[in-house]
């Protein structure tokens, strides 16, 4: 394992081993070039992974639709694009709390999203909607069972919608709504475009691990080598996926994970692929994020000691300042994307060379 | 109005005035050509239209998320692609009941969806998720209000999930599950790919007109000339949109609408743009669809008498057999797409020439 991983690193790029910023021959092409001109797509489309059939007698509380029958739930929607002259390594984008795959598309102020930017850099790119979110159907049986008097109110699912005011602090636009951190990069004038993309979250009513996790495992195996790029609440999913099977996981990029694996867990799966845990700015000013960062540091230290190639990077430490939790939508989002692509180019082998694939 | 509409028709194509199938110089290019080779995209992305801010005290029933705050609901998600060398006329695809914009993407058996096919034919193509469906957030406040004891059970929203068995008959795969109509074209071996894309429907808890309707009106005006292509439960939306304002609506293609405007309504808006109402096969064998077809015929007759350019076409009458309600996913889906593109090429003017734009 170690040998092939080292070979992959040697075969790739001789940038500084630790944290490379730009200047790497295998890094992305110049941003300006990548942003202009027609986008040439070899293949695009969508499909679902996973799901299970459930028979229910509480499917409907409206006329004309039957109460009893079979529905499919817990599947995961995947939209993908493969550019012409694609690299063999693909990227899988896994959105966070209260959001959908829209997270990675056009920014609230109308700039190119990472979904297209990564395709323009040659990566087959897969964007998911988590199970029970967005185009992946949630299971409404229990809501109907309560309405029909077949179940007590206490069985209603635990749901939440993050408010603008709560999201403001969670996304670190500032200490609290509507104050801003100095130098903060979110395009705040277009905030409505973010509020429009937030959706209710059924996660508290779902099993652990979230059905998204086995679906990600199926997807990774289908792709024969993909970097699982997660955000926020989904931060733990790539790790849980790797714990199920390392097959098909060429690397993990956890962007501001709400949770890292425990430092005292079995860390063996996390020694099988390069891992980046990435945080933005103002983290220690946030009572929500500071302890999460601390826990992730403990994981990274332990996984490194266990022989893993695991890094935790704070963007300000590599000269990129002002990033919020929504760094894929910040005004400098493509600068952050370039940095991540350089990290991938430096640290992740091609699928055939990657340990665990 | 009539003059410019006639001029648009003259300026376009001299195919048979009534129902043209193929052979039209302005029709789509050959299917085989359109299906092969890289897809060249000038612009792609996504945005939301509409929505309203709501202050609520029942946003959450789980820890760590506040109960009180502001959320945005009733917005409509739009994903779009503009090919290089695009035509000035765009197409807007509006999915039906229990489904999302996924309807128009890759078919359950993995063939190209109409979303890409239309782009490959030069049309800027806009795919929506109806308000409160898919990536467009539903409003869960009342579910939480009931769980928190702040509202009676009777206020739970009316929700339904169409079962496989119910959908089988509604989508006319056969008279009832699992019987099939002879010669029916749905790729039934891949039915799981359809069940995976079905989502719960909140429509009964939404106002009339559905918030999707004013959002479609905003979108049409933004696009300066688009054909609203609806399916099934959304069939009435383009008509309701035209009743709000005909601005930006270059034409309407209602695929198996669950409802047409009443024949006794004010039909003036429907004389301002070419309209096609399209049905597949086996309609008169369906107790659900036969009366809807009859009502649509009455509308079409009345709108024609009122001076409209309105057609109702049954696919078997133009030589295309075996189509279910899910004709955009049937095995001959691209044959149906070609027929629709020919109808549009023949009957819909370019945006600057179209009445009402």
- Using CA atoms, how far residue B43 sits from A112, B40, B77, B81, in Å, is 10, 9, 17, 6
Q: Is B200 on the interface with A (CB under 8 A)?
A: yes
Q: Is A52 on the interface with B (CB under 8 A)?
A: no
- pLDDT given at position A356: 41
**CB distance A161–B146 less than 8 Å?**
no
pLDDT in tens, chain B (357 residues): 333 333 333 333 223 332 333 333 333 445 555 577 999 999 999 999 999 999 999 999 998 889 999 999 999 999 999 999 999 999 999 999 999 999 999 999 999 999 999 999 999 999 999 999 999 999 999 999 999 999 999 999 999 999 999 999 999 999 999 999 999 999 999 999 999 999 999 999 998 899 999 999 999 999 999 999 999 999 999 999 999 999 999 999 999 999 999 999 999 999 999 999 999 999 999 999 999 999 999 999 999 999 999 999 999 999 999 999 999 999 999 999 999 999 999 999 877 544 443
Q: Which of B349, B328, B3, B325 is nearest to B173 (CA)?
A: B325
Q: Is A132 on the interface with B (CB under 8 A)?
A: no
**CB distance A110–B47 less than 8 Å?**
yes
Q: Is B102 on the interface with A (CB under 8 A)?
A: yes
Please name the member of A51, A65, A158 whose beta carbon is closest to the beta carbon of B62: A158
**Burial profile A270-291: b = 16 or more Cβ within 10 angstroms, e = fewer:** bbbbbbbbbbbbbbeebeebee
- pLDDT given at position A32: 57
**Structure tokens given for A236:** 């733990």
**CB distance B48–A143 less than 8 Å?**
no
Quick one: DSSP state of residue A39?
E
Q: Which of B287, B288, B245 is nearest to B268 (CA)?
A: B245
- pLDDT given at position A49: 98
* Single pTM value for the model: 0.91
* A48: nearest CA partner in chain B: B196
- pLDDT given at position A11: 30
State the smallest CA–CA distance between residue B278 and chain A in angstroms.
Answer: 23
Please name the member of A41, A105, A149 whose beta carbon is closest to the beta carbon of B38: A41
A 250-269 residues with CB below 8 A of B?
none
- pLDDT given at position A33: 58
Please name the member of A41, A147, A164 whose beta carbon is closest to the beta carbon of B156: A147
A53-87 per-position pLDDT tens digit: 999 999 999 988 899 999 999 999 999 999 999 99
State the smallest CA–CA distance between residue A66 and chain B in angstroms.
Answer: 7
Strand partners, B228: B92, B252
Write a three-state SS string for chain B. Answer: CHHHHHHHHHHHCCCCCCCCCCCCCCCCCCHHHHHCCCEEEEEEEEEEEEEEEEEECCCECCCCCCCCEEEEEEEEEEEEEEECCCCCCEEEEECCCCCCHHHHCCCCCCCCCHHHHHHHCCCCEEEEECCCCCCCCCCCHHHHHHHCCCCCHHHCCCCECCCHHHHHHHCCCCCCCCCCCCCCCCCHHHHHHHHCCCCCECHHHCCCCCCHHHHHHHHHHHHCCEEEEEEHHHHHHHHHHHHHCCCCEEEEEEECCCCCCCCCCCCHHHHCCCEEEEECCCHHHCCCHHHHHHHHHHHHHHHHHCCCCEEEEEHHHHCCCCCCCCCCCCCCHHHHHHHHHHHHHHHCCCHHHCCCC
Q: Is B52 on the interface with A (CB under 8 A)?
A: no
- Residues lower than pLDDT 70 in chain A: 1-34, 352-357
- pLDDT given at position A36: 80
Please name the member of B40, B116, B196 whose beta carbon is closest to the beta carbon of A48: B196
**Structure tokens given for B248:** 């930006």
* B139: nearest CA partner in chain A: A200
Pairing of the two strands B69-83 and B125-129: antiparallel
**Structure tokens given for A302:** 């332990």
Interhelix angle A237-244/A212-223, rounded to 10 degrees, is 70
- pLDDT given at position B353: 42
Q: Is B18 on the interface with A (CB under 8 A)?
A: no
**Structure tokens given for B300:** 């079409």
**CB distance B160–A144 less than 8 Å?**
yes
Q: Is A100 on the interface with B (CB under 8 A)?
A: yes
**Burial profile A166-177: b = 16 or more Cβ within 10 angstroms, e = fewer:** bbbbbbbbbeeb
Instruction: Give which of A109, A138, A196 to mutate to test B binding, by max B Cβ within 10 Å.
Output: A196
**CB distance A140–B134 less than 8 Å?**
no
Give the DSSP H/E element, type plus range, for residue A336.
Answer: helix A333-347
**CB distance B116–A48 less than 8 Å?**
no
Give yes or no for a contact between B11 and B354, defined as CB atoms under 8 angstroms apart: no
């Amino acid at each position: 394992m170690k040998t092939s991983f080292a070979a992959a690193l040697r075969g790739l790029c001789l940038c500084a081993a630790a944290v490379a910023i730009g200047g790497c021959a295998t890094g992305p092409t110049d941003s300006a070039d990548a942003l202009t001109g027609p986008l040439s797509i070899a293949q695009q489309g969508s499909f679902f992974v996973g799901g299970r059939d459930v028979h229910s007698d509480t499917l409907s509380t409206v006329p004309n639709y039957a109460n009893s029958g079979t529905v499919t739930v817990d599947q995961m929607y995947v939209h993908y694009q493969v550019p012409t002259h694609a690299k063999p390594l693909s990227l899988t984008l896994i959105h966070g709390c209260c959001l959908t795959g829209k997270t990675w598309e056009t920014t609230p102020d109308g700039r190119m999203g990472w979904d297209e930017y990564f395709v323009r850099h040659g990566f087959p790119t897969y964007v998911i909607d988590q199970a029970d979110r967005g185009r992946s159907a949630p299971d409404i049986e229990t809501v109907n069972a309560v309405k029909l008097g077949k179940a007590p109110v206490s069985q209603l699912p635990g749901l939440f919608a993050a408010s603008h005011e709560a999201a403001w602090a969670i996304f670190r636009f500032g200490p609290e709504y509507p104050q801003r951190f100095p130098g903060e990069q979110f395009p705040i004038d277009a905030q409505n475009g973010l509020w429009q993309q937030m959706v209710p979250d059924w996660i508290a009513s779902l099993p652990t691990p979230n059905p998204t996790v086995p679906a990600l495992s199926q997807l990774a195996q289908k792709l024969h080598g993909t970097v699982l790029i997660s955000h926020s609440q989904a931060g733990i999913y790539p790790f849980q996926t790797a714990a199920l099977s390392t097959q098909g996981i060429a690397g993990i990029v956890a962007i501001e994970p709400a949770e890292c694996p425990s430092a005292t867990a079995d860390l063996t799966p996390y020694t099988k692929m390069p891992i980046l845990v990435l945080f933005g700015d103002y983290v220690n000013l946030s009572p929500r994020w500071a302890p999460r960062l601390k826990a992730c540091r403990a994981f990274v230290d332990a996984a490194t000691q266990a022989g893993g190639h695991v890094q935790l990077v704070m963007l300000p430490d590599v000269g990129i300042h002002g990033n919020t939790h929504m760094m894929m939508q910040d005004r400098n989002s493509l600068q952050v994307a370039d940095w991540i692509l350089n990290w991938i180019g430096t640290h992740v082998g091609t699928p055939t060379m990657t340990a665990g694939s």
